[in-house]
Amino acid sequence: MKGRARTIVATLVIWALLLTVPAWLPEIGGYTALASRILIYALCAMALNILLGYTGMMSFGQAAYFGLGGYGAGLALIHLTHSTWLAVVAGTLLGGLAALLLGALVMRSRGIYFAMITVAIGQILYFAAERWDSITGGQDGLTGFSRQPLRFGHLTVPLSDVPFYYFVLFWFAIGVAVLAILLSSPLGHTFVAIRENRRRAAFLGINVSRYVWASFAVAGLVAGLSGSLNALLNNFVSPADLYWVQSGNFVIIAVLGGMRSFWGPLVGAIIFIGFQNYVSSVLPNNWETVIGILFIVIVLFFPSGILGIARRRARIV
């Protein structure tokens, strides 16, 4: 098969599998809420990958916009609206707006300094969420909201596990479409140019900082969407959603699946979340060790990720 045909087939297979999850996942021992979680983490890691894999900027603070999205959706449901749709929109906008504003602070830094300043911003927001009891619920997290049934005219759909999975899949599709269109546009090609040779891009007249800013804002917007869905999945937002350990999880998901491939983070999320879920039930006391070993094995033996290896294999064959 030629490259383009293969891409189309692969994309169709992925969507066919995602659409039929509630039918086949229980057969292999999973449950639908787990699939919702995988999609949510995959979406956030795909958004992060715009920065990490495509623009070549090592962001270590993606959890900030994920967490903000969660608080945005939760607070909207508590104070503003009974519409689950609007809650998602509110959370997404909060994440995107925060990334747009804060991106202006980080866009000029590079390398490890970029990583550290994104961590710092995430930590400031984390401590704000943890301390601001009256708004966020402090250390106990934000509770007191639940996903509301969807209304289509006379039809009311309660968001139990399976309908909620399709609700998440719907937003996942929108998020993925936004990222895919972006990456195939001149804007996306400019991101890759910056990753490949920042100085040369600058010589060609590209305002590098401004494109990094754009990349950062888009990553934050989609992370906000993903965080909103996560809040609805758990009916709960924890300050730990903003913590740097959570940012590290998104980075490892992207690296595990393959930073250089569009669908890599989805593969990474399937393995990471599935593995975490399995190991924490088998070894409730020592699952962190197993996750740690997984990190080390990935870095040492699969630096280009699962899809990176698969692609190299395919080329040889």
Among 16, 23, 79, 285, binds another protein (CB under 8 A): 285
**Per CB under 8 A, which region of 19-27, 79-87, 122-130, 160-168 contacts another protein?**
122-130
Q: Is 199 in the site for another protein (CB under 8 A)?
A: no
Among 192, 291, 309, 310, binds another protein (CB under 8 A): 291
Q: Is 115 in the site for another protein (CB under 8 A)?
A: yes
Q: Is 210 in the site for another protein (CB under 8 A)?
A: no
Q: Tally the C-alpha atoms within 13 A of residue 41's C-alpha that lie toward its C-beta.
A: 28
Among 76, 107, 119, 242, binds another protein (CB under 8 A): 119
* Strand 150-152 versus strand 155-157 pairing type: antiparallel
* Token digits of residue 235: 């009916």
State the Cα–Cα distance between residues 69 and 134, nearest whole angstrom: 18
State the Cα–Cα distance between residues 55 and 193, nearest whole angstrom: 8
* Residues 50-69 as x/- pattern, contact with another protein by CB under 8 A: --x-----x-x---------
Q: Which residues share a beta bridge with 151?
A: 156
Please state the closest distance from residue 263 (CB atom) to another protein, in A: 19
Among 98, 117, 159, 176, binds another protein (CB under 8 A): 117
Name the packing angle between helices 161-184 and 186-196 (round to 10°): 70
> Cβ atoms within 10 A of the Cβ of 290, count?
16
Say if residues 222 and 178 touch (Cβ distance below 8 Å): yes
Among 14, 97, 105, 240, binds another protein (CB under 8 A): 105
Q: Which residues share a beta bridge with 157?
A: 150
Within 231-260, the residues that bind another protein by CB under 8 A are: 244, 248, 251-252, 255
State the Cα–Cα distance between residues 224 and 314, nearest whole angstrom: 35
Q: Is 127 in the site for another protein (CB under 8 A)?
A: yes
Q: Is 219 in the site for another protein (CB under 8 A)?
A: no
Please state the closest distance from residue 42 (CB atom) to another protein, in A: 18
Looking up tokens 């966020």, which residue turns up? 136
* Token digits of residue 56: 């070549």
What residues make contact with another protein under the rule CB under 8 A?
52, 58, 60, 105, 108-113, 115-117, 119-121, 123-124, 127-128, 131, 244, 248, 251-252, 255, 285-286, 288-289, 291-296, 298-300, 303
